Structure 1
Amino acid sequence: MASKADELVRAAEAVHIHGRADQGVDPKGGDAIVPGGMFTYQVVVRSERVYIVQITHLGF
């Protein structure tokens, strides 16, 4: 899961290069599938953060 989260952070940095100066609307969050489950995330550009809002472990 950590590598997938790292990948999301790098992508957000590349797309939203203005960070705190950004005046637009935050992008829609999404789901990331990882081995054994998934997690739901939200990008908050002005805070320069990617929040993991839910982790689902499927138990296998």
Structure 2
Amino acid sequence: MSWSWEYLPSEEHVVGGAPAGFLTAVEEKAAELVRAAEALFLDGTRYEGSGEPMRYLDVAGGLVAYYLVPRLELVVVCQATPPPA
């Protein structure tokens, strides 16, 4: 397997209607999180710990909620709140 990221439940639900600049920043940060997770969990499929907690990041003035699923080698972006207009 190889680490990846995805929106949950869907891209439309998480970032639908968000400004393009914010969307780009979220996707760049998600790709960065994938690279960090690959370095932290060299073989995530063998992970035996408890689930990872939800984490939050400031991205381009907005807020992104995400969590890691090491056994699936997956970064899940589940909420993105763009900055106020």
With normalisation by structure 1, the TM-score equals: 0.84
Unaligned runs of 5+ residues in structure 1 are: none
> CA–CA distance in 2 between the matches of 1:14 and 1:29?
19
Does residue 1:7 correspond to 2:17, yes or no? Answer: no
Task: Kindly state the Cα deviation for residue 45 of structure 1 after the two structures are TM-superposed.
Answer: 0.4
* Residue of structure 1 in register with 2:64 after alignment: 39
- Aligned partner (choices 18, 22, 40) of residue 47 of structure 2: 22
Give 1 or 2: higher strand fraction: 1
Count matched residues. 60
Task: Name the % identity.
Answer: 37
Greater share of residues in helix: 2
TM superposition score normalised by structure 2: 0.62
Following superposition, which runs of at least 4 residues in structure 1 exceed 3 angstroms of deviation? none
